[in-house]
Amino acid sequence: MKISEGVEWGLHSAVLLAVLPRGTALPTARLAEYHGVPAAYLAKHLQAMSRAGILEASQGPKGGYRLARPAGEITALDVIEAIDGTEPAFVCTEIRRRGPTAMPAREYRLPCSIHALMNRADAAWRAELASTTIADFSVQMLEHASPKAVAKGAQWLQEVLA
Amino acid sequence: MKISEGVEWGLHSAVLLAVLPRGTALPTARLAEYHGVPAAYLAKHLQAMSRAGILEASQGPKGGYRLARPAGEITALDVIEAIDGTEPAFVCTEIRRRGPTAMPAREYRLPCSIHALMNRADAAWRAELASTTIADFSVQMLEHASPKAVAKGAQWLQEVLA
DNA sequence: GGAGTGATACTCGGATATCTGGTGTCCGAGTTTTCGCGG
DNA sequence: CCGCGAAAACTCGGACACCAGATATCCGAGTATCACTCC
């Protein structure tokens, strides 16, 4: 079990887009440059976020991506599900119904206990991830980062948007 | 992100081994037959559980696997980590340190906010999974299953152990 | 009848192929900008 | 100077290779059982 690396890229990209001045956008190439990742592959994940309604894309010169709604209304879970899919990690294949002790289907009204626990664990995971928004990340990162780093980032943004 | 199918097999196998009479064991072939899964592949996961100290193996005729400790002391998380590994699903690649805004390493004393959230979510997931033991599963399944199904299973066990 | 012994059959364990999904890349469709031209 | 229009450059979006890990399998090492023999 491993989470796609694209999830990390998508989250960081969303945080960067959250601090963009109103009315501006960042194209894939700039987002990739800022994070030091391959642009062509990052594009794939940004498209997924766009399809999921998290990002909005605009074409042509000065175009690019921007958040489709306020950063406070985008949870980390939203981004993860957009990129990694919404299916739970555990899929019950109902092996209890197979083999020599199999019974008619109507005997299996209640969900498998193992499946139920997996669902509870999955719900706990998602609940934790839904408790933090992109806006929260922005605040935390600006608070924790050194003033120098913040200044460097701000300067980069200014140059790119010029 | 998807959990290996072997995890489901391992958990069900552990539950079956939990209801074995004291002093008996079940070989891979019987466990596979009971669950209707390929024996050769199930063997791989049983070996992993054996390495992790969850199962004990005995060789020769009448040999096979049995639980290495009481079912009440084996959590679902133990089985999952034995088969799927203990590494967290999310691996932070520290992309904040890459790109044009990178700073000297000493500027990054605090963990990345995104990484921290992922760790909390992972901990919540694991905590939920550690709250249920194989013994709990046995009780729940015996309670929820129809008497007919339980009888069928008991009869199968008796024939196999004979 | 009982103990010893050898063969036997059964078990696990790790090393070996195959295949799906994540990783990485590319080019075409569409739109906005912008520059030039005419009024 | 202002409006219009066409070309150009930049953007996203989906379609196409590549690779690691999960899936699936096999055969060899080791051992408890069991039958047979001998005492």
Model confidence band, residue B107 (pLDDT cutoffs 50, 70, 90): confident
pLDDT at B1: 81
Model confidence band, residue B162 (pLDDT cutoffs 50, 70, 90): confident
Name the amino acid, one letter, at B108.
Answer: Y
pLDDT at B5: 95
Task: Locate the chain B residue with the closest alpha carbon to A154.
Answer: B101
Compute CA A147 distance to the chain's CA centroid, rounded to the nearest angstrom: 27
Rounded to the nearest angstrom, the minimum Cα separation between B155 and chain A is: 9
Mean pLDDT on B109-128: 96
Say how far A85 CA is from C19 C1', in Å: 22
Pair of tokens at residue A139:
């605040």
Cross-chain Cβ contact B113/A141 below 8 Å = yes
Query: If DSSP codes are grouped into helix, strand and coil, which group holds residue A71?
Result: helix
Q: Which residues of B touch A8 (CB under 8 A)?
A: 90, 92-93, 95, 114
Tell me: the pLDDT tens digits for B31-59? 999 999 999 999 999 999 999 999 999 99
CB atoms inside a 10 Å sphere around CB B7: 22
Pair of tokens at residue A130:
């839904």
Tell me: the pLDDT tens digits for A111-154? 999 999 999 999 999 999 999 999 999 999 999 999 999 999 99
Say how far A155 CA is from C35 C1', in Å: 30
Do residues B26 and B59 make contact, with C-beta atoms less than 8 angstroms apart?
A: no
Torsion on CA atoms B122, B46, B68, B136, rounded to nearest 10: 50
Rounded to the nearest angstrom, the minimum Cα separation between B24 and chain A is: 20
CB atoms inside a 10 Å sphere around CB A20: 17
- Long-range contacts of residues A144-151, Cβ cutoff 8 Å, at least 24 apart: A144/B110, A144/B113, A145/B107, A146/B103, A146/B107, A148/B103, A148/B107, A149/B101, A149/B103, A149/B107
Do residues B40 and B74 make contact, with C-beta atoms less than 8 angstroms apart?
A: no
Identity of the residue in B1, B98, B149 whose CB atom sits nearest the CB atom of A35: B98
- Whether A162 shows a pLDDT value over 90: the answer reads no
Pair of tokens at residue B48:
């992993």
Pair of tokens at residue B36:
């209707």
pLDDT at B130: 98
Residues 6+ apart with CB under 8 A from A132: A75, A76, B117
* Chains A & B: contacts with CB separation below 8 Å: 158
**Protein residue nearest nucleotide D29, by CA to C1':** B59
pLDDT at B24: 95
Give residue numbers, 70 to 89 of A, with CB < 7 Å from strand C.
85
Helix axes B39-51, B76-84, angle to 10 degrees: 110
Q: Which of A128, A131, A156 to mutate to test the interface with B (most CBs of B within 10 A)?
A: A128
Task: Locate the chain B residue with the closest alpha carbon to A83.
Answer: B1
- What is the average pLDDT score of chain B? 95
Tell me: the pLDDT tens digits for A65-75? 999 999 999 99
Tell me: the pLDDT tens digits for A35-58? 999 999 999 999 999 999 999 999
B34 touches chain A (CB under 8 A): yes
B154 touches chain A (CB under 8 A): no
Task: Locate the chain A residue with the closest alpha carbon to B16.
Answer: A96
Cross-chain Cβ contact A35/B95 below 8 Å = yes
